[in-house]
Structure 1
Amino acid sequence: MATIDECRAALERLSDHMQGAAGHVRAAAAMDRSVSCHVTDLDVTFVGRLTDGRIEVDETLQGPPPEKAQIRLAMTGDDLVAMVGGELHFAKAWGSNRVRLEASLLDLFRLRKLL
């Protein structure tokens, strides 16, 4: 089972990948939205913002997110680490309900370019 530190590091790597992207992927990541990532097996939520093509984690909270972020992810720590590491494809994980992604319809259309 992935640790909290491994999950935080995975989010930082994801953020680095997004900021280093070009073209339509970079444009899709250039939103300004509140973000939460609930790691279900650890019952921990990383809360922050997607801004300037980066995910900035502001807090790590015990339990589910206290407020509804504009972009919400939920998954196990192992799935988070595997997705960022390229071992698990997001679309496959999402299709099999291993990952939950909730956002407005407009944000979902923009985020699909990142996937």
Structure 2
Amino acid sequence: MATVQECRQALDQLAAKLEANAANGGKRIDLDRTLACRVTDLGVAFHARLAGGRLQDITDGDDPKAKISLTTTSDDLVALVEGRLDFARAMAARRLSIGASPFDLLKLRKLL
């Protein structure tokens, strides 16, 4: 089981990847939404803002009003960010749950 600090580092790493992608003219999405990441096995959550293809202002704690929610375990979160776990397979195996409107889900696919 990954630690809370390792999960935080994984989210920071994801933010850095998205920032580099946006800076290099990669896939960008026109989406400005609050995002909550819930780590079930540790009983912790993080929240941030997804804007312009960037993940900003990552903060400890849940945001029950977040427009997009990700729910997974600590090990799966770290594996997803490091590229050791395929996003689509994690969803199919129910190791990752995403709560978002259908419109937002279509836009999020561009980041994958």
The answer, yes or no, to whether TM exceeds 0.5 is yes
TM-score (norm 2): 0.88
**Structure 2 unmatched ranges of 5 or more:** none
Match of 2:11 in 1: 11
Shift of 1:68: 2.8
Divergent runs of 4+, >3 A: none
- 1:97 maps to which of 94, 99, 111: 94
What TM-score does the superposition give when structure 1 sets the normalisation length? 0.86
Q: Which runs of 5+ in 1 are unaligned?
A: none
Q: Percent identity?
A: 45
Aligned to 2:49: 49
| 1:24 Cα deviation from its structure 2 partner | 6.0
Aligned residues between the structures? 110
Contact 1:39 1:76 in 2 (8 A): yes
- Matches of 2:33 and 2:40, distance apart in 1: 22
Matches within 5 A, 1:70-85: 70-85=67-82
Counterparts of 1:58 and 1:83 in 2: how far apart (Å)?
Answer: 17
